[in-house]
Amino acid sequence: MPRYRSQTSLVTAGRSGIHSGTSAPSPAHVGQRWFNTATAVTYQYTRDAAGTKFWLDISSGGIGAVASRSVDWVGDTDPHLETNGSGLAVGDVYYNREADRYFTCTTATTNANVWAGRFAGSGGIETTYKSGSDFYRVHTFLGSGTFEMDSTTSVDYLVVAGGGGASSYHVAGGGGAGGLRTAAGFSTAAGTYAITVGAGGLGGIYSASGSNGGNSVFSSITATGGGGGSSGNNAGLAGGSGGGGSNAGAGGAASPAGQGNAGGAGGGSGNPIEAVAAEVPEAQDKLELQVQMQLVVQEQRMIIEQVRLHHTLVEELVGLLMVAAEVLVMEGE
């Protein structure tokens, strides 16, 4: 990345013609000017004190009009983790001449630099990571908020809705997961977007079914809330992923399709222990025997505890007698 030093004494006399077009002239000479017809920005080919040559924005007020801001670095894109430079330090100012934005370095660590400023997108919890040779700035919303874009940008998104609530019935169906939508290369125009993060559905009260989770929304993308779990013999509610069925009820459908899975069906009604005992006559006898054995174990534990207490009392009594004997001996002396 070129380091900006000065704009003075850089023009080569007699060679300062202006080139018009959507791409910079090549080869270029120091002092040459180029008008980008696609962005209506005029640049001048410049050399810094280290001898590095680059195109400098001279038409939008940018670098030439802000000497008081002590710009240290100049580039054509927003800075990222690996925007390094010899001598980069905390507090250095970076100028994106294409977007006319400024950034300040807050952590100067090679290939792990942190920059504060107005990036192309803003909103949510902002983090940066690298995948392959590409750098991504992530905007995570844990609650509803606002996302802003300065220019039309291609984004990757992951939108998850709130999960459904479960029923409170004793053989209740569970709530379905919130719908999930994800894609890469989604074109997002410049502007402000309201972000909605769906809440989880409420659980059922007094044997009622649970309610569906809330939808999550970004731009034209909507992830559907999960279906509520059912009660009685009813089917689970439809949702991003369907709610679970209760008793003999079927699972709720995944609707709309493609965001999750259908809910699981109920497993039948009745007390499981009683059902086993009814199907297998010997099971009831085994249960009764287990209960009796537990009572015997409890009685044995009580007897052991009584013996332990008795033993403790005996030890304390012997100790008192020994103390009394010592006192009598001392008094006799």
pLDDT one-digit tens code per residue, 3-12? 333 333 223 3
> Do 143 and 249 belong together in one domain?
yes
More confident residue, 260 or 206: 260
**pLDDT of 130-154, one tens digit each?**
888 888 889 999 999 999 998 888 9
> Do 52 and 112 belong together in one domain?
yes
Q: Report the range of poorest mean pLDDT among 119-123, 319-323, 329-333.
A: 329-333
294: domain range? 282-332
Decide if 103 is inside a domain: yes
Decide if 276 is inside a domain: no
Q: Report the range of poorest mean pLDDT among 28-42, 236-250, 303-317.
A: 303-317
pLDDT at 49 over 90: no
Report residue 264's pLDDT band, with 50, 70 and 90 as the boundaries: confident
Decide if 12 is inside a domain: no
The separation between CA 79 and the C-alpha centre of its own chain, rounded to angstroms, equals 23
> Do 249 and 126 belong together in one domain?
yes
> Do 126 and 111 belong together in one domain?
no
Local structure of residue 84 (DSSP, 8 states): -
The separation between CA 152 and the C-alpha centre of its own chain, rounded to angstroms, equals 24
pLDDT at 317 over 90: no
Mean pLDDT of 48-67: 58
Decide if 61 is inside a domain: yes
CA dist 189 → 121, 149, 219 (Å): 11, 7, 10
Q: Which of 92, 118, 144 is the last residue of a domain?
A: 118
User: 215, 198 in Cβ contact below 8 A?
Assistant: yes
> Do 248 and 318 belong together in one domain?
no
Counted domains in the chain: 3
- Other C-beta atoms closer than 10 Å to the C-beta of 236 total 36
> Do 108 and 147 belong together in one domain?
no
Decide if 229 is inside a domain: yes
Q: Which of 270, 297, 321 is the last residue of a domain?
A: 270
**Which pLDDT score is estimated for 219?**
93
Decide if 4 is inside a domain: no
**Which pLDDT score is estimated for 207?**
74
Decide if 81 is inside a domain: yes
> Do 42 and 111 belong together in one domain?
yes
What is the rounded average pLDDT for all residues in the chain? Answer: 77
More confident residue, 289 or 197: 197
> Do 171 and 247 belong together in one domain?
yes
**Which pLDDT score is estimated for 188?**
92
**Which pLDDT score is estimated for 206?**
72
User: 216, 210 in Cβ contact below 8 A?
Assistant: no
> Do 240 and 141 belong together in one domain?
yes
> Do 191 and 94 belong together in one domain?
no
Q: Report the range of poorest mean pLDDT among 64-73, 116-125, 145-154, 252-261.
A: 64-73
> Do 188 and 297 belong together in one domain?
no
User: 16, 34 in Cβ contact below 8 A?
Assistant: no
pLDDT at 184 over 50: yes
**Which pLDDT score is estimated for 8?**
30
More confident residue, 259 or 319: 259
**Which pLDDT score is estimated for 203?**
83
Decide if 11 is inside a domain: no
Q: Which of 118, 144, 166 is the last residue of a domain?
A: 118
> Do 194 and 304 belong together in one domain?
no
